[in-house]
C-alpha cells in the first residue's frame, strides 16, 4: 500500500536525482528519485555489489552524462528505467525498485520496502 507521501514531483529537477528518507520503525531508509525523459524511477539507496549506499555526495546518483545511475564506490552503472547493472562488478544484478503512486503531483510510496 502506497501510504507515505515521499515528495512533490517538482522537488526533483528533470535529468536529476534526489534522496529522500522514509521512516522505518526507529530508523530511516534512504531512497532516491530519478527524473529523466518523462520517466520517474525510485530505488532504494543500496548497491547490489556490497550493499553500501550508492552516493558519496548528497543527491548525486547519476553519472556525468546523466544516462545511468552510478555507484560511487566501484563505478557500477545501472539503467535508470529498471535498475539493471550494465557495467561493473555486479553486472546483471538490479537496484531494488520502490513502487510508487502519483496522485496529482504528489509521489506516494509504501513504508514497507
Ligand atoms: S559497492 Fe557499488 S559497485 Fe561496488
Three-state DSSP class for residue 16: strand
Q: Look up cell 530511516; give the residue.
A: 28
So what's the pLDDT on residue 25? Answer: 85
Ligand 1 centroid to Cα of residue 55, in Å, is: 10
pTM, two decimals, is 0.95
Q: How confident is residue 100, by pLDDT bands cut at 50, 70 and 90?
A: very high
| Binding site membership of 49 for ligand 1 (Cβ less than 6 Å) | yes
Q: Which helix (H) or strand (E) holds 6?
A: strand 4-8
Q: Would you say 85 and 76 are in contact if contact means Cβ atoms under 8 Å apart?
A: yes
Ligand 1 atom with the smallest distance to the CA of 50 is 1
Ligand 1 centroid to Cα of residue 21, in Å, is: 21
Domain borders along the chain are: 4-109
| Binding site membership of 77 for ligand 1 (Cβ less than 6 Å) | no
| Binding site membership of 53 for ligand 1 (Cβ less than 6 Å) | no
Ligand 1 centroid to Cα of residue 53, in Å, is: 9
**Tens-place pLDDT, residues 13-47:** 999 999 999 988 899 999 999 999 989 999 999 99
Q: CA–CA separation, 102 vs 51, rounded Å? A: 28
Nine-digit cell string for 52 = 553500501
So what's the pLDDT on residue 2? Answer: 76
**Tens-place pLDDT, residues 53-62:** 999 999 999 9
Minimum CA distance residue for ligand 1 atom 4: 74
Which of the listed CATH numbers 3.90.180.10, 2.102.10.10, 3.40.50.11310, 2.60.40.1930 matches domain 4-109?
A: 2.102.10.10
Amino acid at each position: 500500500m502506497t501510504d507515505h507521501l515521499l515528495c512533490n514531483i517538482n522537488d526533483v529537477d528533470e535529468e536529476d536525482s534526489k534522496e529522500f528518507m522514509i521512516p522505518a520503525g526507529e530508523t530511516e531508509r534512504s531512497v532516491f528519485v530519478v527524473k529523466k525523459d518523462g520517466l520517474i524511477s525510485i530505488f532504494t539507496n543500496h548497491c547490489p555489489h556490497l550493499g553500501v549506499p550508492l552516493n558519496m555526495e548528497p543527491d548525486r546518483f547519476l553519472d556525468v552524462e546523466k544516462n545511468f545511475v552510478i555507484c560511487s564506490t566501484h563505478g557500477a552503472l545501472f539503467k535508470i528505467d529498471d535498475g539493471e547493472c550494465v557495467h561493473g562488478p555486479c553486472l546483471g544484478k538490479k537496484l531494488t525498485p520502490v513502487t510508487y503512486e502519483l496522485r496529482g503531483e504528489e509521489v506516494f510510496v509504501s513504508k514497507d520496502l
